[in-house]
Amino acid sequence: MFLTCEGTFGIVPATMDYNGEARPGDFHAGYQEIEGINLGYLQINGTQMFALAQVLSDLFKDIPRTTISKKMETLKIKSRRCDLKELRTLKAINSVPTRAVKCSLISKADLEALCPSCKSLSPRR
């Protein structure tokens, strides 16, 4: 079950171009409770994106990663690599470990498709 966003962490300062307008690709960070777990997200170009590492370690902690990967392939879910600015923001909101050097992101829509598919694999809480 997906719940509404409980609030945002803050807005990442926009990068301005020479005429004073914000460039595309700016984002902000926040938290959303999903399945009773608070996950950090980045709002990028209008899409909520979650750190796949946090999703795997917190939301699907009892399911092998290979099983999740196979489910993602079956559902045609693609993740995307985050850039350095996004990675630093995810570290600041404790969504990925500070030692992380790279991170993949998954959209909220894809996560909503993945959750029911993996819920049946997880032992009862």
pLDDT at 8 over 70: no
Q: Which two tokens stand for residue 75?
A: 């559902």
89 CB contacts (<8 Å, ≥6 apart)? 12, 27, 29, 42
Q: Show me where the domains of the chain are located.
A: 28-115
pLDDT of residue 26: 73
Please give the backbone phi and psi of residue 20, each rounded to the nearest 5 degrees, phi first. 90, 5
pLDDT bracket for residue 89 (50, 70, 90): very high
Question: Does the structure show a pLDDT above 70 at 23?
Answer: no
The residue assigned the tokens 């993945």 is 114
Residue 49: DSSP 8-state: E
Position 39 pLDDT exceeds 60: yes
For residues 60-76, give the mean pLDDT: 92
What is the Cα–Cα distance from 104 to 114, expressed in whole angstroms? 15
Residue 14 has pLDDT above 50, yes or no: no
Residue 19 has pLDDT above 50, yes or no: no
Average predicted confidence (pLDDT) for the chain: 81
Residues 39 and 98 sit within 8 Å (Cβ to Cβ): no
**The model's pTM:** 0.76
Residue 124 has pLDDT above 70, yes or no: no
Topology (CATH) of 28-115? Mlu1-box Binding Protein; DNA-binding Domain (3.10.260)
